[in-house]
Amino acid sequence: MITFAKQQNMKKLLITVFLACTGAAMAQVGLNTTVLVNAKADIGGTITLTWPKFNSAGSIKIYKNSTTTPMNFTTVTVTLDTSKTQWTDANAQPGNAYEYAVVKVNASNATTAIGYIMAGNKATEVTAQGGVILVVDSNYIKPLANEIKTLVQDLNGSGMPVTLIYAGRTEKVNKVKDRIRAAYDNTKPTPSYLYLLGHIPVPYSGNYTGNVDRCAYPPDGHVEGSGNHTGAWPADMYYAEFDGFYTDNVVNITTGSLSRQHNIPGDGKFDECRNINGMTLKMGRVDLFDMPIFQKSDTVLVKNYLNRAHDWRMNLISYVDRGLIDDNFTSLDLSATGWNTIVSCIPRDSVFGNRDYFTAQNKGNYLWSYGCGAGSFTSCSGIGAVNNFNPGIYNNIFTALAGSFFGDWDITNNFLRAPLASGSLVSFWGGIPKWYNHYFGLGGTIGTCTQISQNSTAQSFNDAQNKLHIALMGDPTLTLRTVPAAGKLTAVSQTGSVKLNWVKAKGKFDGYNLYRVDTATNTWTKVNTTIIVDSFYTDSKNYVNGKHKYAVRAVRLETTGSGTYYNLGTSNFAWVNHTNAIYEMPKIQVQLAPNPAENSFEIQLNALSAAAAEIKILDISGKQVEFISAIMSYNTLRCDVSKVPNGIYFVQITCKEGQVTEKLIIQN
């Protein structure tokens, strides 16, 4: 990971600055240490990165991540003069997504500003984000039954199958984690997300103190004698990390001003401060317990949140595509999280750094906002207080906030949770440490960004990186933009084909995609080759008899600060019992020998050229049991089926000349 050569935000600085608001006349360090990089999707399929001109000496280095590991920047792709304001990646291909870092260095080659972006030119849509373990507060089983049912339907429709479990508010956190781990181990396909809904028991962990011989400084710097925000903090990351070992027999600290932060051996609070092994799940929490300032029960507040989240997924919430940053810590780089996050989601000429957080959002809607200033549990200097989050007046979808005490959110009328009780869908403590949300700008979920931020070990504000306090307030499966849902889908098998019809979606979209869904693996296979503009389609290439699940999803090409990508609405599903009486024979002919096969067989293909072929072996229900991808050698491929049970199967071969399916008997 690229980091600043000299960390600008030292621990002792934070102790004093967080107690008083800095002067507005000081330089905006957060803005000045961020490269405001946007991506433009070029007509030819390439990607052009753009940024404002630098007026200082040095150079601009662009890194391109060549791996699937997020934030893995090791080699400089190109070095440019500071007079340059753009660079075109001539190797970018339409349909793909690429991660870049644009780094400004000074004459001494020290990093002075960084911008991250996940860029694409008509990046391919993501059909399945991974399954969700949904842990629901047992107090909500009856009063929110309808809302929970709708949430499960919405997640399933987004390609995220749900495993639902319940937890009581007084349970031990280790017991709750045992059930989460069991759900993770026993659910196939393996879940990717953890969504805590309600006042699920809050884990506490840490030995935050000013004594450098111990664990670490409190993330907000308030050590003994300076706020006494010491001891253990809320640590939701405990629930989503399965490879670490948590102890409760070492730490003994009672210097915190609040008893809930006291941490002594055997009290159920853990000793660890950091996430050592990486987060297994992408997680978030919607917890509006103990927020009396909103004059509604947590049940009602959560119900309102779930209804808003549903409306968002259904593309029923209007918003203005703009962002604002209200930086009241101008001598620190906390707002760098806000600048990089928002500019990767919204073109930078629609992001404003000179507007007041509440004044602007009370007058009009903002898709993204960021605010920071000297804080308390319930207020932020230069921003406002909890009571300013007025439902119906405060207009925001996604927000991030930074100030002392916010990240310690398990307390009455907490400032960080307040946006979710008003109008926002997401809130987090942005800048302590730095968050990396550029994946959000190209169709990724906010949970993906949370996981990347939690796992980052890059040096950050007050050594706050990788600590267990890092948490997302909100639904981790949400995406930046949404597409209308198609209506009811029907599927009928006739004359070897499947006839599909559906009710048209309402709203702005480009057309539809149809998928066959393998529920065992959560694999979505697109049926159409181009976007469907009608509300009907015939799948003439389903060669497998049996019961099939189809999905229809509206699709739209989105444009953000990160380029363009195809985005999908939630699905409507239909099942069909299919009988295939006709095999369409494309331009290829295939011979399987021997057939019946024992341990292995050869595929002999009279294709026009020795092209890469995809081989799928399907059982009679259509479930894939074997996958081979190889280059044909003299149009012959040997397949090992020694581990495949005896029975009747279908071998489906796809290459550039077309697709064909042949019956295969295995007798091992």
Q: How many Cα atoms sit within 13 Å of 230 on the Cβ side? A: 25
In this prediction, residue 601 carries a pLDDT of 80
Q: Is 396 helix (H, G, I), strand (E, B) or coil?
A: strand
pLDDT above 60 for 439: yes
Report the pLDDT averaged over residues 514-538. Answer: 93
Say what the pLDDT of residue 583 is.
52
Any idea how long the chain is?
A: 668
Q: Do domains 489-578 and 590-666 have the same CATH topology?
A: yes
Q: Which residue has the tokens 């706050």?
A: 464
The pLDDT value recorded for residue 566 is: 97
- Measured CA to CA, the distance from residue 451 to residue 516 in angstroms comes to 30
495-509 confidence digits (pLDDT tens): 889 999 999 999 999
Residue 468 has pLDDT above 80, yes or no: yes
Q: Other C-beta atoms within 10 Å of 235: how many?
A: 25
DSSP-assigned letter for residue 619: -
- For residues 372 and 334, the answer to whether their CB atoms sit within 8 Å is yes
Nearest to 157 by CA among 554, 583, 456: 554
The share of the chain scoring above pLDDT 90, in percent, equals 76
Q: What percent of the chain has pLDDT over 70?
A: 91
Residue of 585 and 223 predicted with greater confidence: 223
Task: Look at strands 76-81 and 59-64 and give their pairing.
Answer: antiparallel
Separation of alpha carbons 14 and 449, rounded Å = 26
Scored b (16 or more CB within 10 A) or e, 300-328 reads ebbbbbbebbbebbbbebebebbbbbbbb
Q: What is the pLDDT of residue 18?
A: 37
Check: CB of residue 444 under 8 Å from CB of residue 479: yes
Inform me whether the pLDDT recorded for 444 exceeds 50: yes
Residue 632 pLDDT exceeds 60: no
| Domain range annotation of the chain | 34-123, 489-578, 590-666
The pLDDT of residue 656: 65
User: Sign (positive/negative) of CA torsion 14, 19, 21, 26?
Assistant: negative
Taking only the tens place, the pLDDT of each residue in 177-209 is: 999 999 999 999 999 999 999 999 999 999 999
Rounded (10°) angle between helices 145-157 and 298-313? 30
Largest CA distance in the chain: 82
Q: Which residue has the tokens 């000074």?
A: 106
β pairing state of 563-568 and 489-494: unpaired
pLDDT score of 653? 81
Reduce the secondary structure of 533-553 to three states and give it as a string: CCCEEEECCCCCCEEEEEEEE
- Burial class from Cβ neighbours inside 10 Å (0-12, 13-18, 19+) for residue 365 reads middle
Tokens (6 digits) for 61: 């280095």
Helices (H), 376-488: 418-422, 446-455
**Residue 73's closest CA among 438, 441, 344?**
438
Taking residues 383-400, what's their average pLDDT? 96
Q: Is 662 exposed, middle or buried (0-12, 13-18, 19+ CB in 10 A)?
A: middle
Q: Is 90 exceeded by the pLDDT of residue 581?
A: no
Of 630, 596, 638, 626, the closest CA to residue 611 belongs to: 630
What are the φ and ψ backbone dihedral angles of 259, each rounded to 5 degrees? -65, -25
Give dist(CA 630, CA 614) in Å, integer: 7
The answer for residues whose C-beta is within 8 angstroms of residue 370's C-beta and 6 or more apart is: 323, 324, 325, 326, 327, 335, 337, 338, 339, 341, 342, 399, 400, 401, 430
Question: Which uninterrupted H or E stretch holds 63?
Answer: strand 59-64
Which CATH number describes the domain made up of 34-123?
2.60.40.10
The Cβ-side half-sphere exposure at 382, using a 13 Å CA radius, reads 24
d(CA 62, CA 80): 8
Tokens of residue 459, six digits: 């040096």
Let me know if 459 is exposed, middle or buried by CB neighbors in 10 A (0-12, 13-18, 19+).
Answer: middle
Where is pLDDT greater, at 591 or 198?
A: 198
More confident residue, 518 or 168: 168
List, for residues 68-83, the tens digit of each pLDDT value: 899 999 999 999 999 9
Burial of 631 (0-12, 13-18, 19+ CB in 10 A): exposed
pLDDT in tens, 290-310: 999 999 999 999 999 999 999
Task: Tell me what the mean pLDDT of segment 474-479 comes to.
Answer: 98
CATH number of 590-666: 2.60.40.1220
Q: Give residue-wise pLDDT tens across range 537-568.
A: 999 888 888 999 999 999 999 999 999 999 99
Would you state the pLDDT for residue 596? Answer: 85
Instruction: Look at residue 7 and tell me whether its pLDDT is greater than 60.
Output: no
pLDDT (0 to 100) of residue 5:
42
Least confident range from 97-106, 547-556, 600-609, 618-627: namely: 600-609
Query: Which carries the bigger pLDDT value, residue 16 or residue 133?
Result: 133
What is the mean pLDDT of the segment spanning 364-387?
97
Reported pTM: 0.86
Cα separation of 409 and 219, whole Å? 13
What's the pLDDT score for residue 634? 52
- For the 489-578 domain, the top CATH level (class) is mainly beta
DSSP 260-315: GG-B-TTSS-B---B--S--SSEEEEE--TT-GGG-S-HHHHHHHHHHHHHHHHTT
Question: Is the bond leading into 433 cis (omega within 30 degrees of zero)?
Answer: yes
Q: Give all strands (DSSP E) within 106-244, no chain letters.
A: 111-123, 131-137, 162-167, 191-197, 204-208, 231-234
Contact 432, 402 (CB under 8 A): yes
Residue 213: its pLDDT value, please? 65
